[in-house]
Every structure is written in structure tokens, then in C-alpha cells.
Structure 1
Amino acid sequence: MENPHLLENERIDQLFSTDVKIIQNRDVFSYSIDSVLLSRFPKYPQKNGLIVDLCSGNGAVALFASSQTKSSILAIELQERLADMAKRSVKLNQLDQQVTVVQDDLKNLLQHVPRSQVDLIVCNPPYFKASDTSKKNLSEHYLLARHEITTNLDEICQVSQQGLKSNGRLALVHRPDRFLEIIDTLKTYKLAPKRVQFVYPKNHKEANMLLIEAIKDGSMDGFKILPPLIIHKDNGDYTDEIFEIYYGKRN
């Protein structure tokens, strides 16, 4: 494993259930549990497949996905600073032969992959619609990562339809309050919703996250709502399921 070049305030974190290490900077961008859960949600092609990670940030989803599959992974991130962190993390983990990071607008996806040839697209998109009030007290990096300023749900679904092969899959993590909009937008681009899982901060709390998977040109039949995923016990500890995702099975 190569010794990475770290910039000011950068650190190296590890998801301890894997060997993957990732360069982070709290002032610029750090992955959250949504990236971890997204990386564990879809069914991956195991070899000779092509996976694309849109809105890749510092590459967390792409890097964590590399431990789930041997398929090639292309990570696309608009922000130069975040893409640079992702590229250095790829080198840190010696994943250059599997993971490629491209700094570009996701609308240019077809400049990097053939049309209708992608097996799986994963995306942790900006959750919030842009408004004057939403832009306060955020750095530029977090602002673009969290708010629909440079891309939006409609564009992500449109680009995914263009890139995915027939029966290819799109997996998203998003906000429950936009669930109906997500379903409608997927259907607009012939992406049939197939699986959804709602994520809850604690038992008896409202869901604050959802994971959803759709199939290009798929039938609208067979939609499944998976069992709820709860993050914390009442005492604040991780539930057993989340602990295993982060640290592996307890001894």
C-alpha cells in the first residue's frame, strides 16, 4: 500500500469491515453512513461488468464497492478537490486496475462509457432542492454535494437511462420526503422501481433515509419493500446490523 500525499487537515479513515482506506477532510468532504449503506445495497456484477458511481465525492461508494465485486468501476465527480482526494485514495488502496476516477459533469457520462453498456449505476446525489435559505453556513464543497445546484434527480435518472444496458440497475440513497417524486422520476425514464428500504435513526423514529433500486426497461410488477434498517439502539450504540457493516461480525 502506497504512502499517500496528504494535504492540510486531511486524514485517512478505514471502514474496518473491509481493507479499504479513504482520504478525508472534514472541512472539504467526509463520507457519511449513507455512502456506506448505499455501497452495501445493490446486487453487484461479479466480473467483467461495468459499474459507475455518479456524484462520487471523495470516492467512498466506489472504493467500498471494490470490496464487493471484481467489476470495473468508474467514479465521476464534478468538484476538482474531491476528485483529487478520490484519485489519491485509489492509489492508496492499489486499486488503479479496477477503479478509475474522472473529474467531470455527470451529464457527460457518455463521453466516458459506451451508451447502454453499464451494468450498475450507484449514486449518492444532492438531497435538497436549492433555495436561498438552504445555502447558509455551508462551504462550497458541501453546498454542491448536498443541494441540487449542479445536478438534480431528473438529470441523474436521464443520464442513468442513457448509460445503463437493458435490465441494468440504478441504486440511489435519498430522502424519504422525496419518495413519491423519486418513483415518478424513475418511471419517466423507464427505470422500474424494484426494491426500497427505509432507514431509521432509532426505533420509533421517522425514517430519515431510503435506499432504492430500479431496473432499466424492467416490469413495473414485483416491487418489494424490504425490512426496515435501524441505525442506533435506544442507548445510542449501533444496532448489530450496523455494527457488522462498520466493523465486521462480533467475535
Structure 2
Amino acid sequence: MANRSVLLNGLEDQVTVYNDDLSQASQIFGKDSVDVVTVNPPYFSNLSTSKKNPNEYLAIARHEIKTDLRSVIQTSSDLLKTGGKLYMVYRPDRLHELMNVMTHFRLAIKRIQFIYPKVDRKSNMMLVSAIKDGKETGLNIDYPITVYQNGEYSKEVKKMLYGE
């Protein structure tokens, strides 16, 4: 999907997408070497009581089976230059943990945007951006995004997905 987005937006000369094992990232790129990291880490802890998808790949994508939040944030911080930016999607119910882990690895959260599936539902996702070695002040909470309105994608989501 990432490569498709790069092509659709004509960014081939500006963006390179790497799809590799997280544990190899520092060896591939080197520490303090990148300006931007974008991650979509597993959202759920790997608990024995967790209901996991029977599809192994989906279970790994959603649950901390092969990696966890701490490893993702540590690797991201290791890769980023001072002033580099981290962009991620995560779950609001783990915000406190996320803030603690980011602070530990020298990442200052600068923006949070909550995503709501529908107007009458609680937020189930959030977009987060952080800066390596950034000041701890200056957190902005952006306007919310509602995914569905009247049974279809909202105008804002259509614009993001289709450019409408």
C-alpha cells in the first residue's frame, strides 16, 4: 500500500519505502540517519486472554507477537536524527503508555489527532507525531476525524483516500 501511495502521488523521487524486519533497521540504515519514520505498530498486548485473528499475519500485525511498542519506539528513536519526526497510528487506550515510552526514548509528542469510527462512538485510533529531542512543551490536539457518516465514508476521509 505504501508503494502504491508513493506512485499515485508522484513521489518516487522523494520517498523510498522499505519493508523489512524491524530488528534489522539500525544495521540497514545506521543510527541517527533518517529524517522521518512512519510506523503502524501492533496495537494490542499479546495476552493469553486476547482474542486473536486466526490468520497468523493479521494476528502478528495487530498483537505484540513479534515486536512490542517499546521496541518499535526504541528503533524509531535510534534511526532518527535529532529533530527527526516520527509519525504513527495507535490506540487511544494506550496513550499513557505511549507517552511514557516516547519520553524514555527522547521523543516529544507534538500532535495527536483522534479518529472516531462514527459520530456517536468513542475514538478507536489516533494519529501521533513526535520529534526526537524536541521540547516537551507544545503538544497540539488536532480536530477529530470521523470515518463514517450516514453509512459511508465522511467527506474528509473520501478526500484523504480518493482526493475527492
Provide closer, same or farther for how the CA distance between residues 237 and 117 of structure 1 changes in structure 2, counting only shifts above 3 A. Answer: same
Provide closer, same or farther for how the CA distance between residues 120 and 226 of structure 1 changes in structure 2, counting only shifts above 3 A. Answer: same
Q: Provide Cα deviations, 1:12-54, integer angstroms capped at 9, x if missing partner.
A: xxxxxxxxxxxxxxxxxxxxxxxxxxxxxxxxxxxxxxxxxxx
Aligned mates of 1:212, 1:124 — CA distance in 2: 11
- 1:120 to 2:36 alignment: yes
For the 8 Å contact 1:125–1:145, the answer to whether it is kept is yes
Provide closer, same or farther for how the CA distance between residues 71 and 143 of structure 1 changes in structure 2, counting only shifts above 3 A. Answer: same
Work out which of the residue numbers 153, 159, 166 in structure 1 matches 2:82. 166
Q: Provide Cα deviations, 1:193-236, integer angstroms capped at 9, x if missing partner.
A: 00000000111311010000000011111110000001111x21
Distance apart, 1:161 and its partner CA: 1.0
Q: Which deviates more from structure 2 when the two are superposed, residues 212-221 or residues 105-114?
A: 105-114
2:103 corresponds to = 187
1:247 corresponds to = 162
Distance apart, 1:131 and its partner CA: 1.6
Stretches (4+) displaced over 4 A? none
1:71 corresponds to = 14
Q: Match of 1:222, SS?
A: coil
2:91 corresponds to = 175
2:2 corresponds to = 61
Aligned mates of 1:71, 1:177 — CA distance in 2: 34
User: Could you state the TM-score of these two structures normalised by the residue count of structure 2?
Assistant: 0.91
Aligned mates of 1:215, 1:230 — CA distance in 2: 26
Fraction of identical pairs, as percent? 38
2:152 corresponds to = 237
- Structure number with the bigger relative contact order (C-alpha 8 A, sep ≥ 6) is 2
AA aligned to 1:244 is: K
Aligned mates of 2:61, 2:53 — CA distance in 1: 14
Aligned mates of 1:68, 1:241 — CA distance in 2: 22
User: Could you state the TM-score of these two structures normalised by the residue count of structure 1?
Assistant: 0.61
1:145 corresponds to = 61
Count of paired positions: 162
Please provide the CA RMSD for this pair. Answer: 1.7
